[in-house]
Amino acid sequence: MESTSSHNVTVLIFGASGDLTARKIIPALYNLWVNCYIPRGLKIIGVARREKDDTRFRQEMRDACQQNVRDGLFDSNAYAAFAGSLHYHILNFDDREGYAGLKERLEEIETENGPAGTRLFYLSVLPNQFGMIARHLGENGFISPPDALELPITRLIVEKPFGRDLESARALNTDLQSVLDEKQIFRIDHYLGKETVQNLLSFRFGNAIFEPLFNNHFVDHIQISALENLGMEAGRGAYYDKSGAMRDMVQNHLIQLLCFIAMEPPSVWGGKEIRDEKLKALKALTPKSYKNVDEWAIRGQYGPGSVNGKQAPGYREEERIAPQSNTPTYVALRVGIDNWRWAGTPIYLRSGKRLATRATEIAIVFKKPPLQFFKTIECDQNSCWMIDTQPNVLTFRIQPDERISLCLSVKRPGMEVDLNSVDMNFLFKETYANIMPDAYERLLIDAIRGDTTLFMRSDEIEAAWEFITPILDHWEANPCADFPNYAAGSWGPEAADRLFGDSTYGWRKI
């Protein structure tokens, strides 16, 4: 990352008593500050309802940084210097009058540094508070015009979830846009801040040899998987039970991965142009008809089982989950992109909780050679057997063990012409030890700089909801009779295998 501009930066975190502030936002700001990406005069104001003063907030954030700053980069002396930038202000978010007090406090804190520069408002609050807080900020004169020549510059980050269907997302966009200009709004999807996700675009458009193969002539299908072996972390049940896997992971993270892997190259490397191309891919998503949703959209919910040798409860037995809950904890989809490049190429997406493993990856499975001259030998510990020649597979492992691998067929040494499938691997860890920033570092610095490339634009969000909402509606109208339909620690419901139909392929064991 290059160093950012020199004018003052103030970050106001609404929801400063929340878990995200302690786990991600403050540790990310600490790292950016220590590494000089943010000017020394940084000011952070934690805003929340809970009674607390600056000293207590600094102490709590010290513990948070100690536990959460990546790669052991925490340093007590550096934190002592950083802590001076931290302040805390008590505010009831719906107390309209209280915002005047916040403004006074903000101006008072900023005067220590000279003129206010960039003010970044981070809304890490309940989704139904986004619009209200933005409105109060507008009414109290916190928001500068987007193209004003003088400082301060205003930017606002909104955490997920951004709506729970098309209608609510549209309403939220309208609320925010009534106060702010689109270029002042930064809707976070933390997947886009991951190095390995950004690398999808760099890999595709920074190498000349792969891109010509990324199309329906050469690619048999694409699999995008985000598998988790955790279930409900403490305190999460209440949120999750109202969301489920589709809203929590697919509508945002997986659909964004799909855009990055399938979008057309932009003609210019810019936030607008990249997001225009993503939008085109979203608009071309198929199926267009929702008549036979159950044929291409599968849902699941985990029952009791065992994960890594440990007994795990079923979803309905987890903390703060309704005992008869019908919330899906697993989703698998077979979709497509109806454009010249991808028409006819299936794209399989899946995501779930309490599965056999934790792994996020995109696999581009290429077509097999037109003539099958050879056989491939596959072995386990006990025996070997012959299978057809395997396809080349280009895999982007987003996490863990971040890597890019290309699976190739090679002749196995010996007197026969038999093949083995082998991997050519590039491991991020081997080449770039300890320099992988956390997603939030990247996203925060981009928002401070005003770079919208890695944030979702209003039309992108709406296009994603437009595709997903009818599936959710169908599921709501037709509750699943067989929940729970997969055991904790398994690979998900059997029904998800049906998505591959007559094809010789199935879900990758990753």
Residues forming contacts to ligand BG6 in the complex (CB under 6 A) are 228, 248, 360
- State the minimum distance, in angstroms, from the CB of residue 473 to ligand BG6: 22
Judge contact between 445 and 35, C-beta under 8 A. no
Of the listed 87, 89, 221, 253, which one is catalytic? 253
Tell me the β-bridge partners of 45: 12, 87
* Nearest residue (CB) to ligand BG6, 4 versus 360: 360
- Cβ atoms < 10 Å from Cβ of 366: 17
Site of tokens 């030998």: 377
Least gap, CB of 461 to ligand BG6 (angstroms) = 15
Residue number, 358 or 412, with CB nearest to ligand BG6: 358
Question: Roughly what angle, to the nearest 10 degrees, separates helices 54-68 and 76-83?
Answer: 140
CA distance 174 to 224: 32
Q: Which amino acid is at 320?
A: R
118 φ, ψ (degrees, to nearest 5): -95, 130
Instruction: Measure the CA angle with vertex 473, ends 283 and 350; round to 5°.
Output: 65
Smallest distance, Å, CB 361 to ligand BG6?
A: 11
- The SS3 call for residue 97 is coil
What's the min distance (Å) between Cβ of 92 and ligand BG6?
26
Active-site annotation holds for 217: no
Q: Which residue is nearest to ligand BG6 (CB)?
A: 248
Cβ proximity to ligand BG6: between 199 and 421 the closer is: 199
By CB neighbour count within 10 A (0-12 exposed, 13-18 middle, 19+ buried), where does 489 fall? buried
Cis omega (within 30 of 0) for bond into 400 = yes
Radius of gyration for the alpha carbons in the chain, expressed in angstroms and rounded: 24
Please report how close the Cβ of residue 443 comes to ligand BG6 at its closest, in angstroms.
12
Cβ contacts of residue 496 below 8 Å, gap of 6+? 298, 300, 330, 332, 350, 507
Nearest approach, Cβ of 245 to ligand BG6 (angstroms)? 8
Which of residues 325 and 360 has its CB atom nearest to ligand BG6 in the complex?
360
Q: Which residue type sits at 208?
A: A
Instruction: Report the number of secondary-structure helices (H) and strands (E) in the chain.
Output: 15, 21
Phi, psi angles (nearest 5°) of residue 365: -95, 115
Catalytic residues: 253
